[in-house]
A and B are shown apart, each in its own frame.
Chain A
Amino acid sequence: MNETGDHTPAVQRRMIRYGDFVREVNLHHRRLSFNRLTPAGERRGDGSYRPYAPERLRLDVFEVSRLVGPYSATRFLEQTRAVAPLAAYLALFQLLILRAAVADSWTITLGLFAAIVGLMLFMEGLRLGLMPFGEAIGNNLPRKSPLWLVLTIAMLLGIGVTFAEPAIGALQTVGTIVDVHKAPYLWLLLNERAGALVLAVGAGVGLAAVLGTLRFLQGWSLKPFIYLSVVPTLLLTAVLHFDDDLRVVIGLAWDCGAVTTGPVTVPLVLSLGIGIAAAAGKGNSSLSGFGIVTLASLFPIIAVMLLAVHVASGTGPDDIIAAAEAAQRTAAPGWWTFSPAAEIIGGVRAIVPLVVFLYLVFGLILKERLREADIVLFGLVLCVLGMIVFNLGLTYGLAKLGAQSGGIIPAAFAPVDGLDASPMYGFVLGILIAMVFAWVLGFFATMAEPALNALGMTVEDLTAGAFKKRNLMLAVSIGVGVGITVGVLKIVFEIPLGYLLVPGYTLAAILSWLSNEEFVNIAWDSAGVTTGPVTVPLVLAMGLGFGNAVSAIEGFGILSMASISPIVAVLGTGLWVQRRARLRTDEPPRSPRLAGNPS
């Protein structure tokens, strides 16, 4: 058992008894020569060897379960970790502080389970089915095609990914909560014109993809882009603010900006953008990936507000209410408007157009053939299936739980129908409880977001450790917590959103002007990563339920507050980090001078 090198006489030769060896070995060993497993090689007629093509492996059920079991288990746990703590927090808060049991708890549990399974299938399908297209197109298209064609495709891709974004489905789901009499335009945009709404958001994302790509192709600074898009956005907000019917749309428009940047948009649009930069020889700029996310959160706001203005110029609010009532009276909605058919149609409609578009680009423009076609196809099926299951989970789990919590929390400080004990606490204490609830929800939901962790690591690398990952995560999470708290207060006291957004974004613009390019990129992008497919439906539904319970006109705007406050928080932290770094570099030259050393 023991080889002893002849050139090392210092080592004693030691014999090991076979019994000792057997004691060390616990498994039954069967020896098999590898020669018996490898092919001998067949010769053709001319004496050359025929290329070897291995047979398919055939697995029995047991082997398949051993292969797929651990694979699915890790992915299931990953999504559970995102959903379970938030759901548990909402349920526990409701139970302990407000002493109200969760209604329909079995439906909600099943719905949350569906959301977990749906997300798991969807993310896996995204990895197997959509990302290969995205990577191939990102790597090859910019080298093979002229710039205008690439930018056109980027624009169309922006629209396609928006439809495929899981959180977009949440907008339509919560749209049913809006009361047509209080906010006719809002109702119209979320119900009859929901397609146009998503298209407007998609156009905004597409434009962001085009301009963002051009930006890092030309090496332009992000700052002018921010000024040039924030100013018209705020001006439009002001215009809508002074129109009594359109004011309610502001919250929706700003929330749309937060919804866009999710798990489909970010990797697909970024892979195309980075591919373009790499083909132009500018891919090594460490900041090249940033900026698109920022613009993709700002442009959709403008697009949705323009859509609202356009809709308002066509139809008056009374027409909408009349039409909605007429539709309700003749109420014979087709089977396709009911769950689960609605979710299935929604899932197919979200994914299939994107896939067809990607495949056309891949086949007609790149003229490439798909490798591992069966696995890609399987991934696409998973994607559609996951989207359908996730949509079901949205309806029965996330949105339902969010709406219920949102509807019950006002019971802490105001009378709520159906709850005899409300208000349970004094007004001030009750509001404080609601604020603490909102802050904790925002803080922990954001800390748990995997995208933030990834951004934190990138940022720590980019700034050579000056901006610690922990600092960034804390700044963003505290920002989101404060944002959601302010959003809740906005609904309670019916503060017009414009009063909060205009100062917030003005402050962010001033801070951007003071900060250097890197921190501006990081800060504006950090707002986009905070709103994942779990947080968005929960927070949206909570806001609307909350709004209905306190009889506010609309409950949108919480997400938009959750976007602006992390920007300000990160920019502020960045300025502090910069200041500290400057103080540190200032100190060394001072001390030698005191010591009388002129060097």
Chain B
Amino acid sequence: MNSREMVVLTDVKLITCIVQRGAAEDVINAARAAGAQGATVHYGRGMGVRERLGILGFAVNVEKEVINIVVSSEQVERVFESMYLAGNLDTPGAGIMYVTPLEKAATFVPQEVLDKLSG
């Protein structure tokens, strides 16, 4: 049997936030200030609202940044709200965000944290 141990985290949720290229940094900083541990960004192209804005669509970049942040179920509301405010998602064309329940996650958890929790 392998001597290595795997820490499986439960009560995890995924926040996905899609914003215009260049806007991810502010959103991630807000999420981290609200307690998020880390973030992953990848690039994509999006469409929809740009076409419906007509000539104003020039201000909406088709290139998007997709931010993935894994959070605990207790902090999800706070992080979700901070990201909404930081990304100004209440403006047209700014982006969209959603929360997905995750079954489990696994990553590195420092030994001292584990000791403290079990102790």
Contact = CB atoms under 8 A, between A and B. Distances in A.
Q: Is this pair of chains taken from one and the same complex? A: yes
Interface of A: 1-5, 8, 11, 16, 21, 24-27, 54-57, 59, 63-64, 66-68, 70-71, 74, 124, 128, 372, 374-375, 378-379
Given A1-B73, A68-B59, A8 B88 contact: no
Contact of B52 (A4, A27, A57): A57
Q: Which 3 A-B pairs have the closest CB atoms?
A: A71-B59, A66-B91, A57-B52
B52 A67 contact: no
Interface string B82-119: 00110010011100000001011000000000000000
Contacts of B1: none
Contacts of B84: 27
B77 A8 contact: no
B100 to A, nearest CB: 12
A63 B8 contact: no
A59 B73 CA distance: 36
Interface string B55-89: 11111100000000000011101100100110010
B49 interface: yes
A5 B52 contact: no
B58 A375 contact: yes
A472 to B, nearest CB: 25
Contacts, number: 73
A494 B74 CA distance: 76
A67 B54 contact: no
Given A55-B52, A67-B93, A374-B55, A8 B73 contact: no
B34 to A, nearest CB: 10
Contacts of A67: 53, 56, 59-60, 91-93
B37 interface: no
B53 A57 contact: yes
B10 interface: yes
Interface of B: 8, 10-11, 22, 49, 51-60, 73-75, 77-78, 81, 84-85, 88, 91-93, 101, 103-104
Given A2-B73, A16-B74, A11 B10 contact: yes
A385 to B, nearest CB: 14
A238 to B, nearest CB: 51
A216 B57 CA distance: 37
Contacts of B92: 57, 59, 63, 67
Contacts of A379: 58
Contacts of B60: 67
Given A67-B93, A71-B59, A378-B58, A24 B78 contact: yes
A374 B77 contact: no
Nearest to A27: B81
A378 B85 CA distance: 31
Contact of A24 (B58, B59, B77): B77
Nearest to B84: A27
Nearest to B73: A2
Contacts of A374: 54-55
B57 A54 contact: no
A152 B29 CA distance: 51
B80 to A, nearest CB: 9
Nearest to A62: B91
Given A372-B51, A372-B57, 9 more contacts: A1-B73, A25-B78, A26-B81, A27-B85, A57-B49, A57-B52, A59-B53, A68-B56, A128-B58
A513 B53 CA distance: 56
A5 B54 contact: no
Contacts of B11: 2-4, 11
Nearest to A2: B73
A430 B70 CA distance: 63
Given A26-B81, A67-B92, A56 B54 contact: yes
Contacts of B49: 57
B4 to A, nearest CB: 18
A68 B57 CA distance: 10
B24 to A, nearest CB: 14
Contacts of B93: 67
B60 to A, nearest CB: 8
B58 A5 contact: no
B65 to A, nearest CB: 15
B53 to A, nearest CB: 6
